[in-house]
Structures are given as structure tokens and as C-alpha cells.
Structure 1
């Protein structure tokens, strides 16, 4: 454990004194969403591209970028927004080769970034770049496998894999497309997909297996589900037929997360394994879902605001002096081996962890 992190965690019981209420607006110095968001958003501007397969902008970078944009927009930080646009500009020209191809769930979600930029700037070129990533997720390619064609025939995306990670990757780009076009086909098909994943992967305790053949409650994987349901519920029209089912899945999960939150306020790499290590990216995703649920009125404030606050207060000491989040599980494929999840390396400053912290700052600042 890094020295500074160890010291901060030793001091945490004193900080915990601040957490004995249900306020999601009143935080001590160093713990406010304004301070944390600024540290992490400007830290992103200093970083290099995190590439998928060494070729294309990766989904962790996309989500970190999105989080910084949301923070910049809600705080009206024009300098930050301009800098984030400047970072993107080469993707139209000299770095165009880094634009992800549209043949995989982890690549198509890139479209959520130009669609976020379009919402912030209203520049049409971002819309034109981003929308095909949402459209091609439901356009079956000629070389699709029999299984992919089968998913499509049932009304699902051909990129379906039944990995819980998918339910943020698919949901975010389809939701963004709905927000910019107001065409309900995008949000409706994302909701249908979510219901199928809920039926296949959510267990009676509210948590999710990583995949049907991997019966472990991996932290960040469950975080993708929590954040994905949250994004859908934030935007899904009240008259959508799948909304009650998704809300039920969300509420069942939040109740379980309340039960499994550790005494220190975090969640473990394997959520139901008390001896496993506390992991930051999944914990931050759960915190985002909880904050949003309380503020939107989906969750009882008296019951869940203290859970969300305790989690936020626990997360901040894991940010080091450079603005990098520590104890982040590396990118993880599924594997039917419990020890595999225990032994995953832990990174510092990995965008898997930076991004959900920024989502939390946005959720805390949102009116």
C-alpha cells in the first residue's frame, strides 16, 4: 500500500465524523465535488491516450473524457471545456486513425463522447461523427455469426455478449443518441436490452454474475450494471413499458449494495467476499448510482443518503497527490475462477477509476 494512502486511511476515522448525516451537499474541505472534480478533470488533460488494442481510443478514456465534460458543463468552466475540445480536435484530422471501428460493444460506445460534445457545444460535426456508432450497433454486418444474427432477430443488438460490462457500453451510446435526436427507438431498444440482461444475470440478492458461466460478483462489473441502469432511468420516458422492470432491478441492487458496504464505506473487488480488497472503480460507480437515486427520489433519502455520503467520503483518500485514483482493478475479461478476481493487478491513475469519480462529482452538483 502506498505511504500516502496508508496515512490517509489511518486518518479516515476523523473524517468519518463528518459522514454521520445524510447531507449530499455539505462536505469538508478537500471532499467537495468542486475540488475533486477540478483535480480529476484537469488531470485528464495531462494524460496520454489510453488505447484499445493499441489502435483506437478506448472506452475508459471515453468515459473519463465524458465525465470531465459533464463536470465542465455543470461548473461552467469554459477553460476546461475548450481544453477538452482541443484534445478532441486532432481526431478529426491528424489522429483520425484513432477513431474506433464499429464492430464491437467496447468500441461502439465511443460514440457517446462526440454526442456529449454535441450537447455541450451544439456543433453539428460532433453529431455527425457520433450517431453512426449508435446506429451500427443495431445494423447487422454481413459477416455476423449465427449467434449474432439470432440476437438481432429477437430485437437485440448483434453485439450482445451477456457480460455485465455491456449494460453501460450499450446503454450510454443509445441513451446519448436519444438525447440528441429525441428518437425513442434508441432509448426503447436500450431498455429492452437491459431487461434481457436483468433477467439473465441478476441474482435474487440483487447482484450480478459477471456472465452466465462466471458465478462471481465482480465489483466493477456490477458497477457497470448500476451505472447503466442509472443512466437509463435518468432518461427513460415514464411511459416506456420496460421502466418498471428496470426500476425493480435497480432498487433490488441498491438494497443489496447497502448490505455489502464495508465498515470503511467501500465495496470489495468481489462484493460478497469480506476478505477481498476494497476496489475504487466499482465503489465509485455504486456511489454514482446511489447519489443519483437519492437526488431523483428513487431511493429513500433518510435510508440511502448516509450510504452515499459514507461512500463518497471513503473514496476521496484513495486519490493521490497527483490526482490519480489508486486501487483500481485493471481491465478484466471474464473467467470462471474466483482466485483470478482476487489476483487482478491494481493500477494507479487508470481511467477505469478516474471516470466514475467524475460522474459522482456531476451527480453531487446536479440540482
Structure 2
């Protein structure tokens, strides 16, 4: 059973934007986003700065997360070049999802395809994502809601999955007018949350293997894992109509936001193990990027008051931009993994760039709103 209705504060308090000076002006934010997007396009096929030998096709989840951030920047950029890049990627992929039929990670690129469909309204942009998702809905997995050392990955048995797949389903419900996609997504999401969400801490365990386990005498809540969930909630809410389902996601989003801002370091980043910031003192820009995106989105959309949450956005953005190298690369992105670990100033990953572009795009919108006050 899930809790639905609880009063939400929809107070923007935008006057606070007039007095905070920590965010740069719009031109500076735009320049940062342009530079980062251009760097990523230039290094699209490189392993420049990367830390692993994983097989990551350009329709896989690491790239999909980058495309999601790139598309949000493309939507407000003063040039069509970023949409042209995204269209070239989609065409090269033949608008296909990644190979594992039920795996949430392999559905993630569907978010790009559906965003492009919403812009260009060409049926071939929709077809493959619609076919895959419809098959899953009509033939739901019978696997249990547990990961079991990656034995069961057909359902959303790890928290990262809540960023990868659910927004696809929410978008499809709107595009097709068929609420069955939304209902299926909601039921699966609640099942995952009931499994992995700590109702006392208002944070998610990465998967079942961390429930009840402590490190340094504290629960283990992975920064990027919770960043995936928090950013994913923003993406889902953008496509949810008013009603009990949306109220569930709203409550989850605001509860997580309240917990998240208490765990930010003084330097502005979120530690890789959220409850052990005194131990994990290395900056990390992917989790920080997703949290900064979600918080800025929450302010812009009336879920979070700026007096409380804007300072965290300012600190997060300032910290991230301080880790851009002289070559234009975003450093301190934790490599692919499932738990707190290490990051390095000269190493990056494409999903970290996606988080940066999503966060910066939302901050750019926030600065636009402040001009209108």
C-alpha cells in the first residue's frame, strides 16, 4: 500500500533569486553548456578519460543518459546543431533500443526517441520503442522483485532502473493516449519502491544486497543510485496527469529532496556514500549533477521553495563547474558501478556529461524565470 495525499508546498519564493549571487549569469551558464556539449560531441567515439572496458554501444544506457541531458540542452540552445547530432545518433541506431528485451537499462534510449518524436512527429521515431514496450506490457515478466546477484533483471530490481525505464512508459502513455502504459509503469515502480526505499531515511538502497548492510556503522546509500531515482522522478512527473499516481510521485520527490539537501558537503558535492561524507571526501560529479538537476527542476516547477533549496543548487553547480579540466572535460565522474567507490579529476563518463547538461539546462531556465520576476 502506498501513501498518496499529503499537502505539498508550491511556493516558489522566487524573490530569493534576486539576492543570491552564487549562480553565474545566463551568458556564463550558456557558455558552460555549449562548451560541455561541444566537447562531448567532439569526443563522442573516444574512450578519452574513461575508466573501464565495458561494452557500451551507443544505444546503451551510459550514452542514453548523456542523450537525455543533451536533448534538454538542445531544447533551449540557440542553434539546431545539438538536435542534428541527436538525430544522427538515432538514425545510426536505426531507432532501435538496446538488445535485452526486458532490461530497464536497454529501454533508456527510448526517452531520446520519444522526445524526438514529440518534436518532429515522424512515426518511424516511435515504432520500435512502442513495439518493445507493448510487448513487455502484454507479456509481463514473471521474475521475482529481487536482483539475486543479477539473476533477475527483467523487472526493476535495482534503483538505477527507475531512471532508465519508467519515463519511457510515462511518455508513451501521453503520446498514445493509452493509460495502460502509465498504469503498468506505476505498479512496477511501486513494487520497486516497496522493495528498496527506506521510509525513515527517504533514500533508496541500490539493490537488495545493501539492505541491512552497514559500512562505517552507517547504512549504504549510493549517491549516483539515488541521483538516478531523483532525476528520474522529475522526468516522470513531467508526463504525469493530475491524480493519485502523480500525487505518489510528488510525495516521493519532495521527501527525497528534503533528505538530499541535508547530505550535501560544504564543498557542494554529494559524497558517494550519502551517510558517510566524512569518509568519502572525494568529489563526484555524476550524482551531484543528477541531484542538482532534480532540485533546480523542483524549484522551476513549484515543488520546492527557492529559499530552502536554491543554495544547494548553487553549491552543486559551482562544485561541478570547478571540476572541468583545461581541455573542457568534466572530471571526477565515478565509473560504472553499483556502490560508493572512487573518482579521479582526469576521468569522465558520458552519463556524467548528461547529468551536467541536464542540471545546467534547468539552471538556465531558473535564471530565465528570475528575470521575469
TM-score band, normalised by shorter chain: 0.7 to 0.9
Q: Does 1:224 align with 2:228?
A: yes
> Larger helix proportion, structure 1 or 2?
1
Aligned-residue RMSD, C-alpha: 3.0
Distance 1:311 1:180 in 2: 34
Q: Does 1:108 align with 2:113?
A: no
Q: Which residue of 2 aligns with 1:57?
A: 59
Distance 1:124 1:25 in 2: 46
Q: Which residue of 2 aligns with 1:28?
A: 24
Q: Which residue of 1 aligns with 2:83?
A: 81
TM-score, with length taken from structure 1: 0.79
Distance 1:261 1:97 in 2: 38
* Distance change >3 Å, CA 249–CA 331, structure 1 → 2: same
Q: Does the CA contact (< 8 Å) of 1:57 and 1:100 recur in 2?
A: no
**What is the deviation of 1:349?**
2.8
Distance 1:330 1:31 in 2: 31
Residues 76-127 of structure 1, C-alpha deviations (whole Å, 9 max, x = no match) = 42123223323433323xxx89954524211122222221221232222211
Choose which of 257, 261, 265 in structure 1 pairs with 2:264: 261
Choose which of 273, 278, 293 in structure 1 pairs with 2:276: 273
Q: For residues 284-323 of structure 1, what are the structure 2 equivalents within 5 Å?
A: 284-323=289-328
Q: For residues 1-367 of structure 1, what are the structure 2 equivalents within 5 Å?
A: 22=17, 27-28=23-24, 32-49=28-45, 53=55, 57-92=59-94, 100-140=99-139, 146-147=142-143, 159-203=154-198, 204-215=200-211, 216-239=220-243, 241-274=244-277, 275-276=279-280, 277-333=282-338, 341-343=340-342, 348-366=347-365
* Distance change >3 Å, CA 192–CA 322, structure 1 → 2: farther
**What is the deviation of 1:331?**
1.0
Residues 262-313 of structure 1, C-alpha deviations (whole Å, 9 max, x = no match) = 1111100111112202211001101111001111111122111122122112
Q: Does the CA contact (< 8 Å) of 1:138 and 1:158 recur in 2?
A: no
Secondary structure of the 1:229 match is helix
Gaps in structure 1 of 5+ consecutive residues: 1-20, 152-156, 335-340
Distance 1:206 1:297 in 2: 20
Distance 2:362 2:134 in 1: 28
**What is the deviation of 1:248?**
2.0
